[in-house]
Structures are given as structure tokens and as C-alpha cells.
Structure 1
Amino acid sequence: MTPEIALYVAAGALAGGLINGLAGFGTALFALGFFLNVMPPVQAVAVVVVLSALTGVQGLWVVRHAIRANTRRLARFLLPGLLGIPIGVLILSVLDARSLKLVIAGLLILYGGYFSLRAQLPRFERPTPIWDMIVGFSGGVLGGAASLSGALPMMWCTLRPWPKSETRAVLQPFNVTVLTLTAAALALQGAYTRETLIYLALALPLSIGAAQIGIAVFKRLTDTGFRRLLIAMTLVSGAVLLLKELA
């Protein structure tokens, strides 16, 4: 591993871990921009899903009470998401990953830009179980295809009037579960070569440490501040993905 490669891997691990600790998701959105400079898509996704799952476990403890209190809500997202994982893994093997990332980047910029400019955020008060399941399934597909399982659930959860702990109680376990199973599927396909494991050995401790900093910041945020942060993250994430793919 050259010093340049090590620098990209370390930077991606720190950025991804920090945002995962802060928001309960987002490792791929912030880490892939670094990893794809030095890794092919399948290898980059294989590294990111492990980092996302293992750093996310720390955040589960923070919202454990909210998870137990909202298990039915989580199930509406998670069970359809599990069905979407094998479809996403298949897409990763046959579809141009660049096209997928451009579509996601466009959606993130459109959504984040629009709601960043609105003084009052919309709030869908009534239950929407069908839409929750559709969003969960789509997140599972994106998780298997590009380790982007949190993008659409994040966008949807910012429209709900849930406190920050309840929002994270959906996003964090959803991502940890989807990406853990995605990692297992990629392992069965032989994605974890010796080189990939070396990258993981460098990235994992950095990502876990950065996640602890993110968790500390999360505890200080208000509910409104947390929602605003998620929306700002969609805009920044979309811009980072778009600039990376068009560069």
C-alpha cells in the first residue's frame, strides 16, 4: 500500500465514521468519494459496508430505548429492505455504478437544496405504512448496489415529526442490518481479498474513533437542529457524489 493510497483510505474512514456517529448513517456517502480514487467499485463498496455496520453498532446503544419502543415502525422499513438487498447486489455486478451514483446525487441535491431554502420544514403527521415499506425496499436495493442504504430513508425521515432519537432508531438499525447482510453477500462472492482486508485493517479503527466524536455531537443537538443537519447533509452528500463522478 503506497502512502497516497493509505491517505485516501484514512480520509474516507474518518469522514465516514464521523458522519455515522453523528447521524446514524452516511458512511458510504462521505467515504466512497475517497475510496473510489484508489479502489474499484466492488472493493470500495465491500470496505464501506463493513465500516458502516461496525461503526453503526456503537450508535445502536445510544438509541436502544427508542428502538425498543418503535419496533413495529422499524419493521416496516427493515423487512422490505431485506428483500431489496439481493437485487442491489445483482445490480452492482451488472450495472454501471457511475450512472447509479449520478441519479442518487441528483436526488440528494434536489431534495436537500429545496428544503434547505424553506423556512418551515414539512411534517407528515399521519402514519404512512405503505410509503415506509417502499422507502425501506428501495433502501435495501441501494444498500446492495452501492452501500447507499441510508439515502432514501434519511430523506423520508426528515419529513416526519419524530424526535431525533426516534429518527435515528429507524436509520441506525436499518443501515446496520442491511449493510451487514450486504457484506455477507459480497463475502460469498469473494469480494474480501487480502488487499481488501488490509484496507479494512487501516480504516476500521479510524472509523470507530471518528464515530465516537460524532456520537458526542449528536447528544448535544436539538430535535430541530438534527432535522436541519440531515437535510444539509443530503445537499452536501449529493454535491460530493456529483463532483466526484463528473471530475
Structure 2
Amino acid sequence: MTLVLIILIALFGALVRTVFGFGEALVTMPLLALIGFNLQTSTALIGVLGLLVALPATIKFRAQIDFAVVRRLVAGSLLGVPLGILLIKTVNRTLVLHLFGVFLICYGAYSLYKAFRKSTGKVRLHAKGWDYVAGMISGILGSAFNSHGVPVVMYGTLKRWPVDKMRGIAQAHFVCVGMIVVASQVASGFWSLEVVQLLLIIIPLLFVVIPFENWISAHIARETLVKYIYVLLIIFGGLLFFR
């Protein structure tokens, strides 16, 4: 029964990532912890599955990707990763998660309010240097809390990127950073025979569910999808706050 739940949770995470472009770790990690699954194994499993799901999405949205932005985001993430490791070693983890959760809830609620009022506001953070800052925050939260997708998506909403461009940039960024994360997890001994066995079961199922998830994504209006993203930010903020 536990094996079935692990597989269903992993596939649900793939659904969230495919449809919305981010957030699978914030959904799956608490659920796996809820059923008592080993944290280290969960981290390794979700890390590689997130990378595998991001690859076809990157190919799908490749025409929408601004690779110059991706390079700056990745450069910032490389600077942020060691800072994130330092963060979890020196700062109270619960306090940081709570503060980040409250920020996501406030930002998501405010943006959702504006979306329903049809008030888009002005494009913010024009300078290219902000790409490095967003990437650094992504690297910090990614290495510390496996949450590197959320800052990039939030940054994209501030920049008023079109939905497909935001998803393409987020996926390309995740592929680059994800390869580094997975390699570091392997080097750190996170992988085990159990991880390999689960991957052998789940990966074939991804070939079945991802086309279905792409179909769902294609049938959601872009304006509606943006509102769903804001709702997800609120939900993820709640998950982080009560984590």
C-alpha cells in the first residue's frame, strides 16, 4: 500500500509540474513525509523526477525561452547554492520557512486580487541585473528547501512574462540547476537501491501520464492559468508555513 501511495504522490507531483511549470517538490515532499517515507530518499527521488519532467517541457517551450535570461538566472543560482547550504546550517529552518510561507501567501493573494480586478500594473524590475538576484534567491531556496522554482515564477510574474515564456524559462532553468542538484545528491550518498527501484517503476508511467497532463495544460486558458498560479503560491505558502 505504501508503494502505491509513493507512486501516486510522485505522479501527482509530475502533474503539478507539467500543468503549472513548478511546485512539484512543495506538493510531494510534505505528502511523502506524511506517509513516513524517508526524507533523504524522498529528496533524491523527487529531484531526479523533477529533472525528467522538466526536460520534455523545455523542449516543448524552447521557442519561448530567452536563453540570455536563463544564463543569468543559472549564474545567480550557482552563487546562491552555497549560501543556501550555509543558511540551513546557521539559521533556524522553521523561522525561514514560516517567513517565506507568509510572503508567498501575501504575494499570491495580492496578485490574485489584482488579476480578478483586471489590474495588471506596470512591469517591474527592468534591469538585467535582477535576473542574477532572482537566480541567487532560487539557488538559496533550492539548496536549502528544494524550492528553487517558486522564486523564478514569482520573478516572471513581476516581469509580466507571457505564460509560455515564463514556463519555458522556468523549465530551462530547472534543467540546468536540476542536473547540478541531482549530481550533488548522488555524490552526497542520497541515492540508494530503493531510489533506483522506484525510478524503474515510475519512469515508464511518466510516458503515460505526461501526454495527458499536457492535454490538460493545453485546455486551460492562459489568463485562467495565471490565476491558478497565484492560487498555487498561496497554497504552497501555507504548506511551507505549516511544514
1:128 pairs with 2:127: yes
Unmatched segments (≥5 aa) in structure 1: none
Note the alpha carbon deviations across 1:52-85, whole angstroms, 9 max, x for none. Answer: 1001111112111112xx2112222122112323
TM normalised by structure 2 equals: 0.86
Distance in 2, Cα, partners of 1:76 & 1:176: 14
Query: In structure 2, the residue corresponding to 1:158 is in which secondary structure?
Result: helix
CA distance change for structure 1 residues 128 and 210 in 2, over 3 Å: closer, same or farther? farther
Deviation at 1:135, TM superposition (A): 1.0
CA contact (8 A) 1:16 1:207 kept: no
1:59 aligns with 2:57: yes
Letter in 1 for 2:70: L
Q: Cα RMSD between the aligned structures?
A: 2.4
Matches within 5 A, 1:8-23: 8-23=5-20
Count of residues in Structure 1 that have an aligned counterpart in Structure 2: 239
The one-letter code matched in structure 1 to 2:61 is: V
Determine the C-alpha separation between the residues in 1 that align with 2:186 and 2:224: 38
Check 1:106–1:193 CA distance in 2 against 1; reply closer, same or farther (3 A cut): same
**Alpha carbons 2:25, 2:147 under 8 Å: kept:** yes
- Determine helix, strand or coil for the equivalent of 2:158: coil
Q: Are the counterparts in 1 of residues 99 and 241 from structure 2 also a CA contact under 8 Å?
A: no
Shift of 1:167: 0.9
Kept after mapping to 2: 8 A contact 1:143/1:179: no
Q: Give SS of 1:117's match.
A: helix
| TM-score, scaled to structure 1 | 0.85
Query: Partners of 1:214 and 1:183 in 2: how far apart?
Result: 24
CA apart distance, 1:99 = 4.6
C-alpha separation in 2, matches of 1:130 and 1:27: 28
- Shift in alpha-carbon separation, 1:97–1:50, aligned structure 2, 3 A: farther
Paired residue secondary structure (1:74) = helix
In 2, distance between residues paired with 1:80 and 1:144?
Answer: 13
**Percent identity between the two aligned chains:** 22
Say which of 52, 56, 78 aligns to 1:82.
78
Q: Describe the superposition over 1:146-173 as per-residue Cα deviations: whole angstroms up to 9, x where unpaired.
A: 2211011111211222222211121111
1:189 is matched with which residue? 188
Which segment is superposed worse, 37-46 or 24-33?
37-46
Distance 1:196 1:92 in 2: 24
Give the match for residue 229 of structure 1: 228
Mark the runs of 5 or more structure 2 residues left unpaired by the alignment.
none
**Residue in 1 aligned with 2:161?**
162
1:13 and 1:204 in contact (8 A); partners too: no
Once residues 187 and 98 of structure 1 are traced to their aligned partners in structure 2, the CA distance between those partners, rounded to angstroms, is 26
CA contact (8 A) 1:155 1:231 kept: no
